[in-house]
Structure 1
Amino acid sequence: MKGVDGDKKAVKLAYHIFLKLRNSASNNALVEAYYGSTLALLGRDASQPLEKADKAQEGLDALNQAISMDPRDKEIRMLRSNVCLRLPESFFQCSKTAVEDITFLLNHYQKDSSYLTKNQVKDLKRDLRTAYENMGKSDEADRVLERYSK
Protein backbone atom coordinates (compact mmCIF):
# COMPACT_ATOMS: atom_id res chain seq x y z
CA MET A 1 0.00 0.00 0.00
CA LYS A 2 2.94 2.33 0.57
CA GLY A 3 3.83 1.92 -3.10
CA VAL A 4 0.28 2.64 -4.22
CA ASP A 5 0.41 5.78 -2.09
CA GLY A 6 3.53 6.99 -3.95
CA ASP A 7 6.50 5.50 -2.07
CA LYS A 8 8.88 4.66 -4.93
CA LYS A 9 11.23 2.65 -2.71
CA ALA A 10 8.33 0.50 -1.53
CA VAL A 11 7.36 -0.13 -5.17
CA LYS A 12 10.86 -1.30 -6.04
CA LEU A 13 11.02 -3.51 -2.97
CA ALA A 14 7.61 -5.03 -3.73
CA TYR A 15 8.63 -5.60 -7.35
CA HIS A 16 11.75 -7.53 -6.31
CA ILE A 17 9.79 -9.59 -3.79
CA PHE A 18 7.12 -10.53 -6.33
CA LEU A 19 9.70 -11.19 -9.03
CA LYS A 20 11.43 -13.65 -6.70
CA LEU A 21 8.11 -15.25 -5.74
CA ARG A 22 7.09 -15.43 -9.39
CA ASN A 23 10.30 -17.23 -10.28
CA SER A 24 9.76 -19.80 -7.53
CA ALA A 25 5.97 -20.18 -7.93
CA SER A 26 5.41 -19.71 -11.65
CA ASN A 27 1.88 -21.16 -11.61
CA ASN A 28 0.50 -18.96 -8.85
CA ALA A 29 -2.09 -16.61 -10.34
CA LEU A 30 -2.19 -14.27 -7.35
CA VAL A 31 1.59 -13.84 -7.35
CA GLU A 32 1.41 -13.12 -11.10
CA ALA A 33 -1.26 -10.50 -10.45
CA TYR A 34 0.71 -8.71 -7.76
CA TYR A 35 3.82 -8.89 -9.92
CA GLY A 36 1.84 -7.20 -12.70
CA SER A 37 0.55 -4.59 -10.32
CA THR A 38 4.09 -3.73 -9.21
CA LEU A 39 5.17 -3.43 -12.84
CA ALA A 40 2.36 -0.96 -13.44
CA LEU A 41 3.51 1.03 -10.42
CA LEU A 42 7.09 1.00 -11.75
CA GLY A 43 5.66 2.43 -14.95
CA ARG A 44 3.85 5.13 -13.02
CA ASP A 45 7.10 6.09 -11.30
CA ALA A 46 9.37 5.91 -14.37
CA SER A 47 10.82 9.18 -15.61
CA GLN A 48 10.99 8.33 -19.33
CA PRO A 49 7.70 8.16 -21.29
CA LEU A 50 8.70 5.01 -23.18
CA GLU A 51 9.65 3.23 -19.96
CA LYS A 52 6.33 4.32 -18.42
CA ALA A 53 4.41 2.79 -21.30
CA ASP A 54 6.50 -0.38 -21.47
CA LYS A 55 6.25 -1.14 -17.75
CA ALA A 56 2.53 -0.40 -17.68
CA GLN A 57 1.96 -2.72 -20.65
CA GLU A 58 4.08 -5.45 -19.04
CA GLY A 59 2.00 -5.04 -15.90
CA LEU A 60 -1.25 -5.35 -17.87
CA ASP A 61 0.09 -8.43 -19.65
CA ALA A 62 0.93 -10.07 -16.31
CA LEU A 63 -2.50 -9.19 -14.90
CA ASN A 64 -4.19 -10.62 -17.99
CA GLN A 65 -2.10 -13.77 -17.59
CA ALA A 66 -3.19 -14.01 -13.95
CA ILE A 67 -6.85 -13.77 -15.00
CA SER A 68 -6.33 -16.50 -17.59
CA MET A 69 -4.81 -18.67 -14.85
CA ASP A 70 -7.66 -18.07 -12.39
CA PRO A 71 -10.56 -16.11 -13.91
CA ARG A 72 -12.75 -16.41 -10.81
CA ASP A 73 -10.33 -14.93 -8.28
CA LYS A 74 -11.84 -11.86 -6.63
CA GLU A 75 -8.55 -10.27 -5.59
CA ILE A 76 -7.04 -10.60 -9.07
CA ARG A 77 -10.14 -9.02 -10.63
CA MET A 78 -9.91 -6.13 -8.16
CA LEU A 79 -6.22 -5.61 -8.87
CA ARG A 80 -6.66 -5.60 -12.64
CA SER A 81 -9.65 -3.26 -12.56
CA ASN A 82 -7.75 -0.82 -10.33
CA VAL A 83 -4.74 -0.80 -12.64
CA CYS A 84 -6.93 -0.42 -15.74
CA LEU A 85 -8.78 2.55 -14.27
CA ARG A 86 -5.59 4.40 -13.48
CA LEU A 87 -3.99 4.08 -16.90
CA PRO A 88 -4.71 6.71 -19.56
CA GLU A 89 -7.64 5.45 -21.64
CA SER A 90 -6.39 7.26 -24.73
CA PHE A 91 -3.26 5.12 -24.76
CA PHE A 92 -4.15 1.78 -23.15
CA GLN A 93 -7.91 1.55 -23.80
CA CYS A 94 -8.49 -0.82 -20.91
CA SER A 95 -11.58 0.71 -19.29
CA LYS A 96 -13.57 -2.03 -21.03
CA THR A 97 -11.49 -4.57 -19.12
CA ALA A 98 -12.20 -2.72 -15.87
CA VAL A 99 -15.93 -2.87 -16.67
CA GLU A 100 -15.61 -6.62 -17.26
CA ASP A 101 -13.87 -7.16 -13.93
CA ILE A 102 -16.18 -4.92 -11.92
CA THR A 103 -19.26 -6.46 -13.51
CA PHE A 104 -17.94 -9.92 -12.65
CA LEU A 105 -17.48 -8.87 -9.02
CA LEU A 106 -20.84 -7.13 -8.68
CA ASN A 107 -22.66 -10.05 -10.31
CA HIS A 108 -21.16 -12.41 -7.73
CA TYR A 109 -22.13 -10.01 -4.97
CA GLN A 110 -25.73 -10.04 -6.18
CA LYS A 111 -25.76 -13.83 -5.77
CA ASP A 112 -23.93 -13.79 -2.42
CA SER A 113 -24.01 -10.63 -0.32
CA SER A 114 -21.07 -11.86 1.77
CA TYR A 115 -18.83 -11.88 -1.32
CA LEU A 116 -17.93 -8.19 -0.93
CA THR A 117 -18.05 -5.66 1.88
CA LYS A 118 -20.40 -2.68 1.64
CA ASN A 119 -17.36 -0.39 1.14
CA GLN A 120 -16.06 -2.59 -1.67
CA VAL A 121 -19.46 -2.44 -3.37
CA LYS A 122 -19.56 1.33 -3.02
CA ASP A 123 -16.04 1.65 -4.44
CA LEU A 124 -16.78 -0.75 -7.29
CA LYS A 125 -19.90 1.18 -8.28
CA ARG A 126 -17.89 4.39 -8.31
CA ASP A 127 -15.17 2.69 -10.35
CA LEU A 128 -17.74 1.29 -12.79
CA ARG A 129 -19.07 4.79 -13.41
CA THR A 130 -15.50 6.05 -13.93
CA ALA A 131 -14.74 3.26 -16.41
CA TYR A 132 -17.86 4.02 -18.46
CA GLU A 133 -17.08 7.75 -18.35
CA ASN A 134 -13.53 7.02 -19.54
CA MET A 135 -15.08 5.29 -22.55
CA GLY A 136 -17.48 8.21 -23.13
CA LYS A 137 -20.53 6.14 -22.12
CA SER A 138 -21.99 7.96 -19.11
CA ASP A 139 -25.56 7.04 -20.11
CA GLU A 140 -24.67 3.36 -20.14
CA ALA A 141 -23.14 3.75 -16.68
CA ASP A 142 -26.49 4.99 -15.34
CA ARG A 143 -28.32 2.06 -16.88
CA VAL A 144 -25.86 -0.56 -15.62
CA LEU A 145 -25.60 0.95 -12.13
CA GLU A 146 -29.39 0.92 -11.82
CA ARG A 147 -29.24 -2.87 -12.16
CA TYR A 148 -26.89 -3.06 -9.14
CA SER A 149 -28.95 -0.71 -6.98
CA LYS A 150 -31.64 -3.29 -6.34
Structure 2
Amino acid sequence: MKGVNGDKKAVKLAYDIFLSLRDTEPNNALIEAYYGSTLALLGRDASQPLEKADKAQEGLDALNQAISRDPKNKEIRMLRSNVCLRLPESFFQCSKTAVEDISFLLDRYQKNPSYLTNNQVNELIEDLRTAYKNMGKPDEASKVSQRFSKLTSKKKK
Protein backbone atom coordinates (compact mmCIF):
# COMPACT_ATOMS: atom_id res chain seq x y z
CA MET A 1 0.00 0.00 0.00
CA LYS A 2 2.94 2.33 0.58
CA GLY A 3 3.79 1.98 -3.10
CA VAL A 4 0.23 2.63 -4.20
CA ASN A 5 0.28 5.77 -2.06
CA GLY A 6 3.38 7.10 -3.83
CA ASP A 7 6.39 5.61 -2.03
CA LYS A 8 8.76 4.86 -4.93
CA LYS A 9 11.17 2.86 -2.75
CA ALA A 10 8.32 0.63 -1.61
CA VAL A 11 7.33 0.06 -5.26
CA LYS A 12 10.86 -0.99 -6.17
CA LEU A 13 11.10 -3.28 -3.14
CA ALA A 14 7.73 -4.88 -3.94
CA TYR A 15 8.77 -5.33 -7.56
CA ASP A 16 12.01 -7.06 -6.52
CA ILE A 17 10.12 -9.36 -4.13
CA PHE A 18 7.49 -10.34 -6.70
CA LEU A 19 10.11 -10.80 -9.42
CA SER A 20 11.94 -13.23 -7.14
CA LEU A 21 8.72 -15.03 -6.15
CA ARG A 22 7.73 -15.22 -9.81
CA ASP A 23 10.99 -17.05 -10.56
CA THR A 24 10.34 -19.59 -7.81
CA GLU A 25 6.64 -20.09 -8.65
CA PRO A 26 6.23 -19.31 -12.37
CA ASN A 27 2.67 -20.65 -12.59
CA ASN A 28 1.25 -18.87 -9.54
CA ALA A 29 -1.46 -16.56 -10.89
CA LEU A 30 -1.66 -14.37 -7.78
CA ILE A 31 2.10 -13.73 -7.77
CA GLU A 32 1.88 -12.88 -11.48
CA ALA A 33 -0.92 -10.41 -10.74
CA TYR A 34 1.01 -8.64 -7.99
CA TYR A 35 4.09 -8.62 -10.22
CA GLY A 36 2.01 -6.95 -12.93
CA SER A 37 0.64 -4.45 -10.47
CA THR A 38 4.16 -3.50 -9.36
CA LEU A 39 5.20 -3.07 -13.00
CA ALA A 40 2.30 -0.67 -13.51
CA LEU A 41 3.43 1.28 -10.45
CA LEU A 42 6.99 1.40 -11.80
CA GLY A 43 5.50 2.86 -14.96
CA ARG A 44 3.62 5.45 -12.96
CA ASP A 45 6.84 6.46 -11.24
CA ALA A 46 9.09 6.45 -14.32
CA SER A 47 10.40 9.79 -15.52
CA GLN A 48 10.54 9.02 -19.26
CA PRO A 49 7.23 8.78 -21.18
CA LEU A 50 8.32 5.73 -23.16
CA GLU A 51 9.37 3.89 -20.00
CA LYS A 52 6.04 4.82 -18.38
CA ALA A 53 4.12 3.30 -21.30
CA ASP A 54 6.32 0.20 -21.57
CA LYS A 55 6.15 -0.65 -17.86
CA ALA A 56 2.41 -0.05 -17.73
CA GLN A 57 1.87 -2.30 -20.76
CA GLU A 58 4.10 -5.00 -19.27
CA GLY A 59 2.05 -4.76 -16.08
CA LEU A 60 -1.21 -5.12 -18.00
CA ASP A 61 0.17 -8.10 -19.89
CA ALA A 62 1.13 -9.79 -16.61
CA LEU A 63 -2.30 -9.07 -15.12
CA ASN A 64 -4.00 -10.49 -18.22
CA GLN A 65 -1.79 -13.58 -17.96
CA ALA A 66 -2.80 -13.96 -14.31
CA ILE A 67 -6.49 -13.78 -15.23
CA SER A 68 -6.01 -16.38 -17.95
CA ARG A 69 -4.46 -18.70 -15.34
CA ASP A 70 -7.13 -18.12 -12.69
CA PRO A 71 -10.14 -16.26 -14.13
CA LYS A 72 -12.30 -16.63 -11.01
CA ASN A 73 -9.78 -15.22 -8.55
CA LYS A 74 -11.35 -12.26 -6.75
CA GLU A 75 -8.08 -10.62 -5.73
CA ILE A 76 -6.65 -10.78 -9.25
CA ARG A 77 -9.84 -9.27 -10.70
CA MET A 78 -9.67 -6.45 -8.16
CA LEU A 79 -6.01 -5.77 -8.92
CA ARG A 80 -6.54 -5.67 -12.67
CA SER A 81 -9.60 -3.43 -12.46
CA ASN A 82 -7.72 -1.00 -10.21
CA VAL A 83 -4.77 -0.81 -12.58
CA CYS A 84 -7.03 -0.43 -15.62
CA LEU A 85 -8.95 2.44 -14.00
CA ARG A 86 -5.80 4.38 -13.27
CA LEU A 87 -4.22 4.18 -16.70
CA PRO A 88 -5.03 6.86 -19.28
CA GLU A 89 -7.97 5.61 -21.33
CA SER A 90 -6.83 7.53 -24.40
CA PHE A 91 -3.65 5.47 -24.53
CA PHE A 92 -4.45 2.07 -23.02
CA GLN A 93 -8.20 1.72 -23.61
CA CYS A 94 -8.65 -0.72 -20.76
CA SER A 95 -11.72 0.68 -19.00
CA LYS A 96 -13.70 -2.02 -20.80
CA THR A 97 -11.53 -4.59 -19.01
CA ALA A 98 -12.24 -2.84 -15.70
CA VAL A 99 -15.98 -3.03 -16.44
CA GLU A 100 -15.60 -6.76 -17.16
CA ASP A 101 -13.74 -7.39 -13.90
CA ILE A 102 -16.05 -5.27 -11.76
CA SER A 103 -19.14 -6.84 -13.31
CA PHE A 104 -17.70 -10.29 -12.62
CA LEU A 105 -17.15 -9.37 -8.96
CA LEU A 106 -20.57 -7.78 -8.49
CA ASP A 107 -22.28 -10.74 -10.18
CA ARG A 108 -20.56 -13.10 -7.75
CA TYR A 109 -21.61 -10.87 -4.88
CA GLN A 110 -25.24 -10.96 -6.01
CA LYS A 111 -25.11 -14.76 -5.77
CA ASN A 112 -23.24 -14.76 -2.46
CA PRO A 113 -23.46 -11.62 -0.27
CA SER A 114 -20.48 -12.73 1.83
CA TYR A 115 -18.25 -12.61 -1.28
CA LEU A 116 -17.49 -8.90 -0.77
CA THR A 117 -17.52 -6.46 2.14
CA ASN A 118 -19.73 -3.35 2.28
CA ASN A 119 -16.74 -1.16 1.48
CA GLN A 120 -15.72 -3.35 -1.46
CA VAL A 121 -19.22 -3.23 -2.94
CA ASN A 122 -19.42 0.55 -2.61
CA GLU A 123 -15.92 1.01 -4.07
CA LEU A 124 -16.68 -1.32 -6.98
CA ILE A 125 -19.90 0.51 -7.80
CA GLU A 126 -18.02 3.82 -7.80
CA ASP A 127 -15.24 2.27 -9.90
CA LEU A 128 -17.81 0.98 -12.38
CA ARG A 129 -19.22 4.50 -12.74
CA THR A 130 -15.69 5.82 -13.30
CA ALA A 131 -14.93 3.16 -15.90
CA TYR A 132 -18.04 4.05 -17.90
CA LYS A 133 -17.17 7.76 -17.68
CA ASN A 134 -13.63 7.00 -18.87
CA MET A 135 -15.13 5.16 -21.84
CA GLY A 136 -17.21 8.20 -22.74
CA LYS A 137 -20.48 6.57 -21.64
CA PRO A 138 -21.98 9.00 -19.12
CA ASP A 139 -25.46 7.51 -19.53
CA GLU A 140 -24.18 4.07 -18.52
CA ALA A 141 -22.32 5.66 -15.61
CA SER A 142 -25.48 7.28 -14.29
CA LYS A 143 -27.42 4.01 -14.62
CA VAL A 144 -24.94 2.18 -12.38
CA SER A 145 -26.38 3.63 -9.17
CA GLN A 146 -29.91 2.61 -10.16
CA ARG A 147 -28.78 -0.81 -11.30
CA PHE A 148 -27.01 -1.58 -8.04
CA SER A 149 -29.14 0.38 -5.56
CA LYS A 150 -30.64 -2.88 -4.33
CA LEU A 151 -27.17 -4.20 -3.57
CA THR A 152 -26.16 -1.26 -1.46
CA SER A 153 -29.50 -1.00 0.36
CA LYS A 154 -29.60 -4.77 0.95
CA LYS A 155 -26.08 -4.68 2.35
CA LYS A 156 -26.89 -1.82 4.76
CA LYS A 157 -29.73 -3.70 6.44
Is TM more than 0.5 here? yes
- 1:43 maps to which residue? 43
- Report the Cα distance in structure 2 between the residues aligned to 1:147 and 1:46, rounded to whole angstroms: 39
- 2:21 maps to which residue? 21
- Report the Cα distance in structure 1 between the residues aligned to 2:81 and 2:97, rounded to whole angstroms: 7
With structure 2 as the length reference, what TM-score do the two structures score? 0.94
The two structures, once aligned, show a CA RMSD in angstroms of: 0.7
- Report the Cα distance in structure 2 between the residues aligned to 1:54 and 1:139, rounded to whole angstroms: 33
**TM alignment of 1:46-57, pairs within 5 A:** 46-57=46-57
With structure 1 as the length reference, what TM-score do the two structures score? 0.98
Aligned-partner SS, 2:115 = coil
- Report the Cα distance in structure 1 between the residues aligned to 2:143 and 2:44, rounded to whole angstroms: 33
What runs of 5+ residues in structure 2 fail to find an aligned partner? 151-157
- 1:24-71: per-residue Cα shift (whole Å, max 9, x none)? 100100000000000000000000000000000000000000000000
- 1:67-102: per-residue Cα shift (whole Å, max 9, x none)? 000000000000000000000000000000000000
- Stretches (4+) displaced over 3 A: none
- 2:92 maps to which residue? 92
- 2:134 maps to which residue? 134
- 2:67 maps to which residue? 67
**TM alignment of 1:96-111, pairs within 5 A:** 96-111=96-111
- 1:4-37: per-residue Cα shift (whole Å, max 9, x none)? 0000000000000000000110010000000000
Instruction: Look up the equivalent residue of 1:123 and give its one-letter code.
Output: E
Please report how far the alpha carbon of residue 149 of structure 1 lies from its aligned counterpart in structure 2 after TM superposition: 1.8
**Alpha carbons 2:36, 2:59 under 8 Å: kept:** yes
- Report the Cα distance in structure 2 between the residues aligned to 1:8 and 1:71, rounded to whole angstroms: 30
Aligned-partner SS, 1:90 = helix
Taking every aligned residue pair, what percent have the same amino acid on both sides? 81
- 1:117-147: per-residue Cα shift (whole Å, max 9, x none)? 0000000000000000000101112334422
